[in-house]
Structure 1
């Protein structure tokens, strides 16, 4: 009987030791997390785009963009290998805001606001890409986030980091011109580095062609053509060809431009009569939507 009691006592003690060991293991494997609240559209429109003064200008930053891609990337992936990727739509009730819980530590936040017409892929803090070289409009942010114990709130400030080239006719379209083909060639890209804001271009020059159909059913009007893209340096020279065609694809007029300078974060506007034969076309860096550059150039026939 005494042997049986001793055996039971040993068994109970062993079970108790195993339970304590299990509790200690469970407690040591638990990771402390904290809440992180992100906001992307709290900045005023004025601070984002000071040059827009027309009545049709967007009243809030949400009016600029249709989608928001967010990536939260741990800086020490040996401790936390899991990245968070979220895609939001302007139809979402929480568009521009995100709340989540993360383990304590440092992260890199990459967020890109853009138009829905293109797909956006965030691969890392140094590489993100669009599905097309013409990106229409975008703004991004890349910053370090230090998630500490307690509540963490971050108001991220978005910045445009692309270049834009605009063709603006001063004369109205003509009925004998039904199509315009604009071809751009040079060092530009659909990919960029969110950390620096500069494009990631291939060694070889890229070529992009826009086909524009002109609708003559209503009142004839002037023509405006935008091309927005990423460039790998502060200033890049492109070539641009503008070709006008009739309904049966007969060439009506052709214009060629060398050394078209575009600048990071700036807009270059080519202004002049496109449809009037024998006319000259002037261009200058214009202060429309993006920041004005130091360049002003004009030329004749």
Structure 2
């Protein structure tokens, strides 16, 4: 068993200990016959359940998808995977997330239902399977997303019912070979405004390099009409970091003006948090 370390990226490990059916691309409803010869271990099942409600595994051979396995945290065998694979070399993908579902077209293109990005973790590696031998691998999931966190410091008006985030500069598609976003996405998240709730969060897969976000925020009434808006430009976003903007959102909400203070706060579950005030 590996020790869990939180460093530049969150590493999560969970022990897989029971059997799981493998969905083949050729026979989508039938398990692969024969004795299980491959086991994957991701350590600390309980730790994974705290941050991921779903885990999906994909196996690729000769540039084609060989099959997938999906689990939810409600499954009695969540975190356990043993299967039978034909001899050969496979690319292995593992995705931990909190969305409705994921599509693994290839290791370079992992997408999510409705392009909704949640807190997401990934693994990519090469697995060699030999005839007559059992293969056991221990794998580590790393966080793939950056978070934009908005902290509202003034009172939310009664007529304000929803908050809409529209942001560009990130990606809703993940390349697990690089661990970074791979398309230029236009992302939208609409969240209910809750009385006395001051913190609202959205996620994206940052691009490799220093690409920044533009985040537009609309406040909607009960009829989904915009009653106030503001935009933040050049928002830093990094994988496994929280970018926190805090300030009075409903005081002079037309332009997002004001002094910005930058701070760095260490968070043991994330690599760090960059703070900005508006």
Q: Distance in 1 between matches of 2:266 and 2:115?
A: 23
Q: Is the 8 A contact 1:237 1:262 kept in 2?
A: yes
Q: Map 1:108-147 to 2 at 5 A.
A: 108-115=91-98, 117-147=99-129
Is 2:183 the partner of 1:201? yes
Aligned residue pairs: how many? 239
- Tell me, what secondary structure is at the counterpart of 2:126? strand
**Secondary structure of the structure 2 residue equivalent to 1:122:** strand
Deviation per residue, 1:89-112 (Å, 9 max, x gap): 222222112111223332211111
Name stretches of at least 5 consecutive residues in structure 2 with no aligned partner: 1-33
Flag the structure with larger Rg.
Answer: 1
Question: Aligned pair 1:152/2:135, yes or no?
Answer: yes
SS at match of 1:292: strand
Describe how 1:93-108 pairs up with structure 2 within 5 A: 93-108=76-91
Match of 2:168 in 1: 185
Runs of 4+ residues over 6 Å off in structure 1: none
Q: Say if 2:150 is the partner of 1:167.
A: yes
Question: What are the residue-to-residue correspondences of 1:53-132 with 2, within 5 Å?
Answer: 60-75=47-62, 83-115=66-98, 117-132=99-114
| CA deviation map 1:11-36 (0-9, x unaligned) | xxxxxxxxxxxxxxxxxxxxx98711
CA distance, structure 2, for counterparts of residue 37 and residue 106 of structure 1: 15
Measured after TM superposition, the shift of residue 147 of structure 1 is: 2.2
Q: Work out whether residues 118 and 203 of structure 2, in 8 Å CA contact, stay in contact via their aligned partners in 1.
A: yes
Q: TM-score, normalised to structure 1's length?
A: 0.68
**1:242/1:256 contact within 8 Å kept:** yes
Contact 2:90 2:127 in 1 (8 A): yes
Q: In the TM superposition, what is the alpha-carbon distance from 1:200 to its structure 2 partner? A: 1.3
Partners of 2:272 and 2:60 in 1: CA distance: 34
Q: TM-score, normalised by structure 2?
A: 0.73
Change (3 A) 1:178 1:84: closer
Q: Which structure dedicates a bigger proportion of its chain to strand?
A: 2
SS at match of 1:63: helix
Q: Quick one: structure 1 residues 113 and 270, their matched pair in 2 at CA, closer, same or farther if it must change by over 3 Å? A: same
**Aligned-pair CA distance for 1:249:** 6.4
Distance 2:223 2:38 in 1: 60
Q: Alpha carbon RMSD of aligned pairs, Å?
A: 3.0
| 1:68–1:89 Cα contact (<8 Å) kept | yes
8 Å CA contact 1:34, 1:150 repeated in 2: no
